[in-house]
Structure 1
């Protein structure tokens, strides 16, 4: 079937054009916001050519096509439904209206942090290169290579509030450049930079009777998120009452001065406290529960993926990197993802149906590269026992990487690509990650093979 033919057949199976509120796509899936999901014929959709699975999650009905196919199908689908020129923000808002408050929060955090991931990954790799130059003595300690790479690798974390300010402003419907200014205020050179100066005591400024610590928020997450949320409310409120003729003069000025004072005097200290509390709690669990924490987190992560809440973990991981310099959560998530791929691989070898094999192999490879939704919804969850086997595999691998203190120096990459942000922390760290990789994959594969699964029949 051509992409146009797939689109023409898909629309009526979704309940018709009038039942489709908005549409977009990601790397592998067509993401749809549906008015009435009871009108969807899911079983017939899954029989369509090129479709590898379909499921409803986080306010969206998602149809899995795979990398390189979904964008072509979406182009034909957009023309068929007349949704080609829709605003992506409208899709996001339509999706959120169908979510519960917790899911909406998770989706919001995801939308803010996913665009920032490339910058964090690049910084992590640069830190790894810098560490190798120092560890192996390839250049002198005072070499210009060391100086420049130190600048390059730390920059993203130093200006993290500015990056978040831009991304969060877009998500909250505010001016992203005003968000960047607030991020700049919170990382101004006059403020002590904790990312560079460590435990140095800050100076204090007396402001209308208040002792304000001149401490910066470089590398922090919660303070800037709270500040931009407040900024968006102030800006939107002002635009409703300020005449258009003076909007350009009044709105930015009042928004920045109000948000700036609120951020420095109240939100910043509160955000630091909340961030420290979260990090302290996680460190307590990690240090005291040990491998049991890894077993629990690794065994339940795929269940969290079903809800879509897992994307919000980027905010927590960013906080860990800012406070302790490593990310010990990501290796656990990676074990869970690898286990899903291992279970899917067993399905591929054991299945007798060509359609199942066609979906299972590329979806398993996708899981090893960090994208698990195709294998979870298209194969493992569909047959249930492979999904259970993957949960066990994730628990075993998660327990191991925690027991061996495996960590990463960035966030965003799991599976095979994660090797790039694990290796910079040492050969032992890399070796234990690979052992965990093998344990997760093998456990899930063997259990799936032993438990078996029942394929549907026509």
Structure 2
């Protein structure tokens, strides 16, 4: 593969370097913000050596090359369009801004939530896996629940959820353009030891204090999501407003001081309680649907999830899932997992049936990727291209989604689907059965539906 030649042809197929507003790359894809996407020659790009698929999503035009190859192509492509190879985009912060400007408001909101939660996922995954390990210890009596080892592991597993507002505060402030350390401080205020910790709270009730004639409950926000998001958003606005009016000579002293005081009062007296009510309302509604219609909800969500992925709205689900973790377990993630692995099952069917050499080369690696929870190569490189395999995947996802809800399969974390989710599933056996149902269902549905093979 001649990476420079591919890069040169890619620039031409994109409508010239003037049509590329911003460029960067992730582990598998070039991510481009394009001025006028009507100038893109889609068919030429898809036929380029090494290209496994190309699609427009979340304000970006994305071209799948795969791990390793994308770095080599970008090393040649970046300078051709004026991007900085070492740092990704010439102005990395501007790439995200440029992409957001191309989105509709709802997609922009979903992307913002994604940017906040994705950096936190490793901490929640680690805590979820520890919870799963503790569950095995307790179920099979491997370790005494009163022992020192069990107590320490329990501390390790719950820590991420107890300080979740601090983690979210730091990440959200970065995304909203505020000082991330002030965001962490606000998260700390909302989880202060003086406030009653609701994590694992049973019948204890918090004390109340009088502030400015108002009654304020001394109840903490450990494990919550929406309250701290609202608070840090307001904090960022206050901080930016203060920086515009406070002289530079005293900015370092006065701005953080006033920001913390103003936002702290707002957090504990207004936004925090309102955010708690909103979060509890969302959780209660989902729990009602889960308890009332159960498997039917799993069928619908499992069947529609991949279509939701096409809109980019799925990025907003992390916030909802984090709320569910504090309410007994994440029952949404196993449904999403079924939709993802079903894309892999449909792609395997395409691999066995297709006579197109390039499609066959793409299909098998894309299926493996989907089984590991990364679905873009399968969706955009294979299934959506032929359309009916995408429908077959939706059928498999619906079957698997209905089964995991029927069996009460939940996750102890967020972010992991496919094979990696075995580590955080509360019932790995039933999750495995659902996995097979989704994959086989999608495989058979795709073969039965068939598709028109390109000559």
For the superposition of Structure 1 and Structure 2, which TM-score range results when normalised by the shorter chain? Answer: over 0.9
Corresponding residue of 2:10: 10
The alignment yields a C-alpha RMSD, in angstroms, of 1.2
TM normalised by structure 1 equals 0.96
**Which of 146, 149, 152 is residue 148 of structure 1 equivalent to?**
152
3-state DSSP of counterpart to 2:237 = helix
Deviation at 1:82, TM superposition (A): 1.8
1:200-258, CA deviations, whole angstroms, 9 ceiling, x for partnerless residues? 10010111111100000001000000001001111111111222111101111111111
Deviation at 1:136, TM superposition (A): 2.8
Give the counterpart of 1:158 among 139, 162, 165: 162
Partner residue of 2:67? Answer: 67
Number of aligned positions between the proteins: 451
CA contact (8 A) 2:356 2:454 kept: no
Match of 1:451 in 2: 449
Secondary structure of residue in 1 paired with 2:298: helix
1:171 aligns with 2:169: no
Segments of structure 2 that go 5 or more residues without pairing to the other structure are none
Give the equivalent residue in structure 2 for 1:188: 192
Q: Structure 1: give runs of 5+ residues left out of the alignment.
A: none
Superposed, 1:157-236 pairs within 5 Å as 157-236=161-240
The whole-number CA distance in structure 2 between the counterparts of 1:395 and 1:404 is 14
**Using the alignment, how far apart are the partners of 1:125 and 1:298 within structure 2?**
24
Provide the secondary structure at the position in 2 that maps to 1:414.
Answer: coil
* 1:103 paired to 2:107: yes
Of 265, 278, 283 in structure 1, the residue corresponding to residue 269 of structure 2 is: 265
Out of 371, 393, 397, the residue aligned to residue 374 of structure 2 is 371
Shift of 1:76: 2.5
Give the SS at the match of 1:215: coil
SS of the aligned residue for 1:456 comes to coil
5 Å-filtered alignment, 1:424-443, equals 425=426, 429-443=427-441
Aligned-partner Cα distance in 1 for 2:61–2:285: 35
CA shift, 1:384, in A, is 0.7
**TM-score w.r.t. structure 2 length?**
0.97
Give 1:79 shift: 2.3
389, 392, 401: which is aligned to 2:392?
389
Structure 1 ranges of 4+ moved more than 6 A = none
1:75 CA drift (Å): 2.8
1:298 equivalent in alignment to 2:296: no
Matches within 5 A, 1:43-58: 43-58=43-58
**Counterpart Cα distance in 2 of 1:47 and 1:199:** 64
Q: CA deviation at 1:367?
A: 0.4
Match of 2:92 in 1: 88
- Measured in 2, the distance between the counterparts of 1:265 and 1:121 equals 32
Contact 2:334 2:404 in 1 (8 A): yes
Q: CA deviation at 1:88?
A: 2.4
